[in-house]
Amino acid sequence: MAGTASQGIFTLDKKICIESCSSVVGKKEGDGPLGKYFDEVITDGHFGKQTWEQAESQFQLEAVSIAIRKADIYKEDIDVICSGDLLNQCIGSAYGLRELGIPFLGIYGACSTMAEGMIIAALLAESGSADRTAAVTSSHFSTAERQFRTPLEYGGQRTPTSQWTCTASGAVILSERGKVRVVGGCIGTIADMGITDMTNMGSAMAPAAAETIKRYLTATGTVPEDYDCIVTGDLGKVGSRLVKEILLKQGIDITAQHHDCGEMIFDCETQDTHCGGSGCGCSASVLCGYFIPMLENGGAENILFAATGALMSPTSVQQGSSIPSIAHLVHLRKEN
Amino acid sequence: MAGTASQGIFTLDKKICIESCSSVVGKKEGDGPLGKYFDEVITDGHFGKQTWEQAESQFQLEAVSIAIRKADIYKEDIDVICSGDLLNQCIGSAYGLRELGIPFLGIYGACSTMAEGMIIAALLAESGSADRTAAVTSSHFSTAERQFRTPLEYGGQRTPTSQWTCTASGAVILSERGKVRVVGGCIGTIADMGITDMTNMGSAMAPAAAETIKRYLTATGTVPEDYDCIVTGDLGKVGSRLVKEILLKQGIDITAQHHDCGEMIFDCETQDTHCGGSGCGCSASVLCGYFIPMLENGGAENILFAATGALMSPTSVQQGSSIPSIAHLVHLRKEN
Helix, strand, coil percentages in chain B from 3-state DSSP, rounded to 5? 40, 25, 35
Pairing of strands A325-334, A302-310: antiparallel
Q: What angle do CA B288, B294, B300 make, to 5 degrees?
A: 130
Q: Rounded distance, CA B75 to CA B73, Å?
A: 7
Tell me whether B263 touches chain A (CB under 8 Å). no
Residue ranges in chain A modelled with pLDDT below 70 = 1-5
Pairing of strands B168-175, B133-139: antiparallel
Short-list A99, A117, A100, CA closest to A108: A117
pLDDT of B4 higher than 70: no
**pLDDT band per the 50, 70, 90 thresholds, residue B1:** very low
Please give the pLDDT value at position B34: 98
Q: Rounded distance, CA A107 to CA B84, Å?
A: 8
**pLDDT band per the 50, 70, 90 thresholds, residue B310:** very high
Pairing of strands A40-42, A80-85: unpaired
Top residue of A89, A146, A148, A195 to mutate, by most chain B CBs within 10 Å, is A89
Top residue of A56, A118, A190, A196 to mutate, by most chain B CBs within 10 Å, is A190
Range B55-72 average pLDDT: 98
Q: What angle do CA A177, A181, A187 make, to 5 degrees?
A: 125
Please give the pLDDT value at position A155: 85
Q: Is A28 helix (H, G, I), strand (E, B) or coil?
A: helix
Shortest distance, CA A28 to any CA of chain B (angstroms): 25
Q: Rounded distance, CA A241 to CA A330, Å?
A: 21
Q: Rounded distance, CA A274 to CA B95, Å?
A: 29
The answer to whether the beta carbons of residues A263 and A240 sit under 8 Å apart is yes
Short-list A196, A227, A203, A193, CA closest to A213: A227
Torsion of CA B10, B192, A76, A80, to 10 degrees: -40
Backbone angles phi, psi at A330, to 5 degrees: -125, 135
**pLDDT band per the 50, 70, 90 thresholds, residue B114:** very high
Q: Rounded distance, CA A189 to CA A187, Å?
A: 7
B-chain CB neighbours of A315 within 8 Å are 53, 87-88, 91, 147
Please give the pLDDT value at position B6: 74
Cα of B49 vs its chain's centroid, Å: 25
Q: Is A6 helix (H, G, I), strand (E, B) or coil?
A: coil
Tell me whether A136 touches chain B (CB under 8 Å). no
| Torsion sign, CA atoms B294, B41, B258, A95 | negative
Tell me whether B151 touches chain A (CB under 8 Å). no
The answer to whether the beta carbons of residues A86 and A286 sit under 8 Å apart is no
Q: Rounded distance, CA A295 to CA B51, Å?
A: 48
Chain-chain contact of A316 with B131 (C-beta, under 8 angstroms) = no
Give the DSSP per-residue string, A168-203: EEEEEEEES-SSEEEEEEEPPPPB------TT-HHH
Please give the pLDDT value at position A150: 87
Please give the pLDDT value at position B2: 42
Residue of A nearest to B192 (CA): A98
A-chain CB neighbours of B131 within 8 Å are 4-5
Chain-chain contact of B188 with A91 (C-beta, under 8 angstroms) = no
**pLDDT band per the 50, 70, 90 thresholds, residue B155:** confident
Range B59-83 average pLDDT: 98
- Write b or e for each residue in A250-279: b if 16 or more Cβ atoms lie within 10 A of its Cβ, otherwise e: eebebeebbbbbbbbbbebeebebbbbbbb
Mean pLDDT of chain B: 95
**pLDDT band per the 50, 70, 90 thresholds, residue B57:** very high
